[in-house]
Chains A and B, each alone.
Chain A
């Protein structure tokens, strides 16, 4: 199996195999990863949709374009031939957009990025580098309603989240500070249930370092040890993930959580191990949502 993301790996134990369809499958890393996941009994023989049949593609269906591939994958799910859609080599925007047009994603949809901190040997998560470009408070509340039960399932304990903003005090000119403060207060009142505690607004230095938080006079027992980072918007979240992945070499995967179905995006370039972890994360999410 994989050495990364132990929390995700534990939740994948004893899962029943799922059926998946790969849209525009040309990616060799993905094919190798699927072979491993299949051997582990987490999936059945996948349906491959793409421009040409490659070795080991036993159930292959040809499509001429990326758009047609996405549509065919969508139809596989409607016909209940597959439970999960996996993005192959097509462009991410086209892949998601085709599902947006199909009404697949609603306000509760959220892209959950998962990082593996090699120093702490621990997984942490961040939202949302993809879906809500300029999230409103309502977006954030709905996203947390999606994410919280899933993360509780992963960690099997209370989840500690940092709502990030450029400063620690509430300033109406900085909407992220207002949103963060409201989310924090909502969590105090258990509006997300008893298993999510949001601290915010927090500048990222206070969220990542206990010393920094103390220097700034911010009381935060979980500084340096949060499970979830709520980034202010898509730009900040996207570049947070990108810099961690490419400059920090932090293993980075993710899953698009939607209300009724989850899309497995291709966060390439990934190693085979990371791709296995990403598929596993999606399978865990799918099984959890079915429960």
Chain B
């Protein structure tokens, strides 16, 4: 079981470079991460977007693009579509979003999933490496579904259950976050999975459900006097986008947390760095994506 981002980095360093379609790398900070990742032989980038803007961003950081392929596409949706088609066909093993609205990327993913006749519920998985916790914690969905209903939550969970075995979590503990206030007053539109049967993915990977719906009960244990972060579940299902978005980025306030995010699909990982991320954070996402691809390769070889 991979328990930290340091272990993820070791996996990534040992891997062969991953061909990566980069969607609209039009900002020097982002380009800096691409350059660094390429220099460290983590990725082989294929840049997709407006050539002039890409070259300008590269020029700012002295990135020589002579040996980096650029596919010129100007329409925003077509840029995202091109990257996803390359991922679907196996031409690249990973996709990363650059300076483009995430909605274009979501639409491109959904279009490819539909073309492949797959369940078209995309979700964003945010991983936390927390000091004092002996495992990684996956929060989902932190970016795509505004107010997921029960079937969407199952799909979100299934997406999470696809990625966790890659990190060695064959039977992850899952917790659906529900605040204890939801019983207090009006019954807000809030869908719980608690009464649905245990979900298994296509490979028969099941998960243990934690009975407690209130996080603090889990963290504090029976005696309720001290916090044990090792009790955190491996997967935390977010109630909705409002919560997922706020919680996923608490690393800005909590220094003990390091965050990486992606949208893992059957085609491979799609990295979704925030426009707010600086090169260091974007680099962390590249490393994470490369490690996931390395694990996919290993599993398919096995």
Interface residues of A (CB under 8 A from B): 92-93, 96-97, 100, 129-134, 164-166, 173-174, 176, 203-206, 208-209, 211-213, 215-216, 231-236, 238-240, 242-244, 246-250, 268-269
> In this complex, which of B182, B190, B239, B276 has the most chain A Cβ atoms within 10 angstroms of its Cβ?
B276
Bound Cα distance A216, B243 (Å): 21
* Set of chain A residues within 8 Å of B146, measured between Cβ atoms: 173-174
* Set of chain B residues within 8 Å of A206, measured between Cβ atoms: 276
Q: Which 10 A-B pairs have the closest CB atoms?
A: A212-B276, A248-B254, A238-B179, A208-B252, A232-B242, A166-B245, A134-B188, A236-B243, A236-B242, A236-B246
B205 within 8 A of A: no
> In this complex, which of B182, B188, B245, B249 has the most chain A Cβ atoms within 10 angstroms of its Cβ?
B245
Bound Cα distance A209, B276 (Å): 9
Q: Which of B179, B242, B257 contacts A247 (CB 8 A)?
A: B257
Interface residues on B, range: 35 or more
Bound Cα distance A235, B44 (Å): 41
* Set of chain B residues within 8 Å of A132, measured between Cβ atoms: 185
Q: Is the CB of A244 within 8 A of B253?
A: yes
Q: Is the CB of B186 within 8 A of A133?
A: yes
Q: Is the CB of B250 within 8 A of A243?
A: yes
Q: Is the CB of B276 within 8 A of A97?
A: no
Bound Cα distance A92, B257 (Å): 30
* Set of chain A residues within 8 Å of B180, measured between Cβ atoms: 92-93, 238
Enumerate 22 A-B pairs (CB-CB under 8 Å) in ascending A order: A93-B180, A130-B184, A133-B181, A165-B242, A174-B241, A204-B252, A209-B252, A211-B278, A212-B276, A215-B277, A216-B274, A216-B276, A233-B242, A236-B246, A239-B246, A240-B250, A244-B254, A247-B130, A247-B256, A250-B254, A269-B220, A269-B225
B247 within 8 A of A: yes
* Set of chain A residues within 8 Å of B26, measured between Cβ atoms: none
* Set of chain A residues within 8 Å of B277, measured between Cβ atoms: 212, 215
* Set of chain A residues within 8 Å of B276, measured between Cβ atoms: 203, 205-206, 209, 211-213, 215-216
Q: Which residue of A lies closest to B30 (CB)?
A: A215
B193 within 8 A of A: no
Q: Which residue of A lies closest to B252 (CB)?
A: A208
Given contacts A166-B143, A215-B277, 6 further A-B contacts (CB under 8 A): A129-B179, A174-B146, A240-B250, A247-B130, A247-B257, A250-B253
Given contacts A211-B278, A247-B254, A269-B225, contact A235 B239 (CB under 8 A): yes
Given contacts A133-B181, A216-B275, contact A240 B241 (CB under 8 A): no
Chain B, residues 146-181, CB within 8 Å of chain A (1/0): the string is 100000000000000000000000000000011111
Bound Cα distance A209, B278 (Å): 12
